[in-house]
Amino acid sequence: MVDTIKKMTTFFREDFATTHMFEKELARQLKIPPLACAVRAVPGYHACGSEVFAPPRKLLSNGDHVMLLVAYGRLKGRRLFEFQDSNGLWVGSRGFVKFAAGSNLITEFLVIDV
């Protein structure tokens, strides 16, 4: 049996009063991972290895890039989101990257109800 999509909802960062409120909703929706997220494509994230990537505030985006959000948690006391990147195993740590929460890198995410 094939599940059919009943509903798709896109959540946009600008629809929330704060980044914290947006990220709180994102973490709440991550009940059944993964979630498709649009992430600011900023230089350097691909080379972060297993470290948490937190870009300087002044760093400008080259547009958005879609990644799969697979986890939300903490590392060394720092809140983070972990993504599987679509660019391959050479990115981050075997294709997975960790972004610091609160860094405004996530611009939107999609929830699919089946």
pLDDT tens for the 114 residues of the chain, in order = 567 888 999 999 999 999 999 999 999 999 888 899 998 877 777 667 787 877 776 666 667 889 999 999 998 888 999 999 888 888 888 989 999 998 888 999 999 887
- The pLDDT assigned to 26 comes to 96
Q: What is the pLDDT of residue 80?
A: 94
* Burial category of 100 from C-beta neighbours within 10 Å (exposed 0-12, middle 13-18, buried 19 and up): middle
**Dist. CA 17–CA 27, nearest whole Å:** 16
Q: What is the per-residue pLDDT for 82?
A: 94
Q: Which CATH superfamily is domain 7-113 in?
A: Cysteine proteinases (3.90.70.10)
